[in-house]
Amino acid sequence: MREVDVAVIGAGPAGLFAAYYAGFRGLSVAVIDALPEPGGQVTAMYPEKLILDVAGFPAVKGRDLVANLVAQAAPFGPRYLLGTRAEKLSYADERPVLGLAGGEQLGCGAVVITGGLGSFSPRPLPCADSAPGAGIVYFVPEPTELADRDVLIVGGGDSAFDWALTLQPLARSVTLVHRREKFRAHASTVARVLSLPVRVVVNAEVTRLFGDGTVTGAEVTVRGGATETLPVDTVVAALGFTADLGPLAEWGLRLDRRHILVDSAMATNLSRVFAAGDITEYPGKVRLIATGFGEAATAVNNAAVAIDPSAHLFPGHSSDAG
């Protein structure tokens, strides 16, 4: 069984900052996330948007904020277990033991749950089974990898249109297919995309994908019957996400609907289990990145004392660490 001092569940903004703080306190840390990339909601839903209310950044692109949080924690060597869901919580000698998807056990001194909306997974492209997986993506971690590709984006929300704006200058061609005539995306983003050489096909669905090992083409069917086949190297499925508390709901945590009740130390009702970020609930709770950062610092510093009661709650100033 692997052992760490602090196991952080969720690699969103709160979890990444918790990883920094655990490292700063000299604690070893593992960060577990069901998604394949760090960044939580920011990476999954708005990596290209500017965020205007993170202290110290007049404006920061979602992708850059996540990269900076990862860089900030990096000197302490957090162990990332991405694409891995935390399924079970038990105790051995009063220390928490997490059961991870795939059967691995992770023993730890304390758990910090920064699970945000809970486990969320991308809505699958309905015709994805008609072709091998390569070439169908739900995130674009590195847009430059799609340079000179024929890209097909499926969806009509903010993510779909943000991907169109990001990829149009890089890709050989960008086609956006949406099954309705109206878009959920912000009107100004839609207008910007429509002013670019992006082909937008409405009232249409991707009905089949072609390819041997990787996608090479897509059949697009417009409502009413007309069908065409497009050359496609990459399909970006931007159909939204489904979210629920998932296995955390079965751990015996005191909950208020989909949130975990915490006290002012960010402690839950379970021994050595703390929580921070969007997943927490208390009177006056405000769900913002800024709030999650403060809660992460409080949770980890209190976790440090739970692990070693002789430790100071106050971590000292990072500016003194030099």
Residues in contact with ligand FAD by CB under 6 A are 9-15, 32-35, 40-42, 45-46, 51, 53, 85-86, 114-120, 246-248, 277-278, 287-290, 292
Residue nearest ligand FAD by beta-carbon distance: 116
Closest CA to 298 of 253, 259, 256, 263: 263
Beta strand pairing status for 2-9 and 29-33?
Answer: parallel
Query: Between 78 and 115, whose beta carbon lies closer to ligand FAD?
Result: 115
String of b and e for 273-295 (b: at least 16 CB within 10 Å)?
Answer: bbbbbbbbbeeeeeeebebbbeb
Cβ–Cβ < 8 Å for 201, 220: yes
Euclidean distance between CA atoms 78 and 4, whole angstroms: 10
Euclidean distance between CA atoms 159 and 62, whole angstroms: 12
Query: Between 71 and 290, whose beta carbon lies closer to ligand FAD?
Result: 290
Query: Between 175 and 280, whose beta carbon lies closer to ligand FAD?
Result: 280
Query: Between 231 and 246, whose beta carbon lies closer to ligand FAD?
Result: 246
Q: Smallest distance, Å, CB 104 to ligand FAD?
A: 13
Query: Between 201 and 237, whose beta carbon lies closer to ligand FAD?
Result: 237
Q: Smallest distance, Å, CB 123 to ligand FAD?
A: 15
Q: Smallest distance, Å, CB 279 to ligand FAD?
A: 6
Q: Smallest distance, Å, CB 182 to ligand FAD?
A: 18
> Which residues make Cβ contacts (< 8 Å) with residue 296, sequence separation at least 6?
14, 15, 17, 18, 21, 112, 114, 276, 277
Euclidean distance between CA atoms 150 and 230, whole angstroms: 9
Q: Smallest distance, Å, CB 120 to ligand FAD?
A: 6
Query: Between 206 and 289, whose beta carbon lies closer to ligand FAD?
Result: 289
Cβ–Cβ < 8 Å for 90, 74: no
Q: Smallest distance, Å, CB 158 to ligand FAD?
A: 6
Q: Smallest distance, Å, CB 85 to ligand FAD?
A: 4
Question: Within a 10 A sphere around the Cβ of 212, how many other Cβ atoms?
Answer: 8
Query: Between 176 and 299, whose beta carbon lies closer to ligand FAD?
Result: 299
Closest CA to 201 of 189, 187, 183: 183
Query: Between 116 and 211, whose beta carbon lies closer to ligand FAD?
Result: 116
Q: Smallest distance, Å, CB 318 to ligand FAD?
A: 20
Euclidean distance between CA atoms 59 and 57, whole angstroms: 5
